[in-house]
Amino acid sequence: MNLARTHPLAFVPTMGALHAGHESLISIARNYSSNVVVSIFVNPLQFENPDDLASYPRSIDEDQLRAELAGASEVWAPTMEEIYPAEVSRISAGELGNQFEGAHRPGHFDGMLTVVKRLFELVEPQWAIFGEKDYQQLFLVRELVAELQLPIEIISAPIVRDVQGLALSSRNVRLSSADITAAHVISRALQSASQLDGLSQQRACLHEILATEPKFTLDYAEIIDETTFELATLGAERTRALVSGWVAGVRLIDNMAMKVIKVG
């Protein structure tokens, strides 16, 4: 147990450039404990693209203030040496680590799980809060905790969106206002698809609406079974559409629960 910190504590891991989405994670964390640790560490292992790492927004002073105002009792920005001393071994995200987001970002989920495990070792939280925007990340972190039998409860937090529906992301600061307007196509497509009956109608609707925006380049739009993270088939009880693509060189991801028809 890390005796320098008061336990039990709730933990919000971040890579900084905090926005209202992170504030919501911190305020959810406060429902679990008045000891809320927010980490800020831009993890190079999860960036497969060196340009993305170099241009990832960094605003540590603002982040510190924002996190404290949102209710953090500690803002912790560890050094590279603290997180990665010589002996840290890499975690594999397995087959799912190479699918969906992982198919487009080789090594991303291995790097993400490696740092999350390390952060958990150093912080020893009782609760850790993860946003649903990175839905595959959330699923893989839950698997890691279950597999290693870590005594940590993973709490998921709903996506925070701007007034027109764009999921908040640290990378959005790299979008112009015209790009943001273009990026709204993603939530529009998800919202419309979510109301329809039937997987094939939902899939068709997603692709049809996403194709209307010339500034948007699609990587994938798929509907998964939430319990297995495999492509959804008829009869799945909880499904979710995942969309990922690019606007103006910025990678955007989003997801939404889809309506399901109960069979039998």
Query: What CA–CA distance (Å, rounded) separates 19 from 69?
Result: 12
Q: Please, which residue, 43 or 202, has the CB nearer to ligand PAF? A: 43
* Cβ neighbours around 263 below 10 Å, total: 8
Q: What stretches of 77-215 adopt beta strand conformation (E)?
A: 127-131, 153-157
Stretch that binds ligand PAF, among 64-72, 79-87, 109-117, 147-155 (CB under 6 A): 109-117
The only residue of 5, 9, 11, 14 in contact with ligand PAF, by rule CB under 6 A: 14
Q: Binding of ligand PAF at residue 15 (CB under 6 A)?
A: yes
Which one-letter amino acid corresponds to residue 253?
A: I
The catalytic residue among 7, 19, 22, 184 is 22
Minimum Å gap between C-beta 132 and ligand PAF is 11
Q: Which of residues 34-73 bind ligand PAF (CB under 6 A)?
A: 43, 46
Q: What is d(CA 197, CA 200) in angstroms, rounded to the nearest whole number?
A: 9
152 contributes a contact to ligand PAF by CB under 6 A = no
Task: For residue 234, give the 3-state DSSP assignment.
Answer: coil
Size of the site for ligand PAF (CB under 6 A): 10
Residue 50: its H or E element: helix 50-55
Position of minimal CB gap to ligand PAF: 13
Q: Are 119 and 91 in contact, with CB atoms under 8 Å apart?
A: no
Give catalytic status of residue 19 as yes or no.
no
Q: Which stretch binds ligand PAF (CB under 6 A): 61-69, 83-91, 111-119, 218-226?
A: 111-119
* Distance in angstroms (rounded) separating the CA atoms of residues 234 and 29: 36
Site for ligand PAF in 120-139 (CB under 6 A): 134, 137
Q: How many other C-beta atoms can be found within 10 angstroms of the C-beta atom of residue 98?
A: 17
| Residue 26 near ligand PAF by CB under 6 A | no
Contacts of 4 (CB under 8 A, 6+ apart): none
Q: Please give the residue ranges that form the binding site for ligand PAF (CB under 6 A).
A: 13-15, 43, 46, 112, 115-116, 134, 137
Catalytic annotation, residues: 22
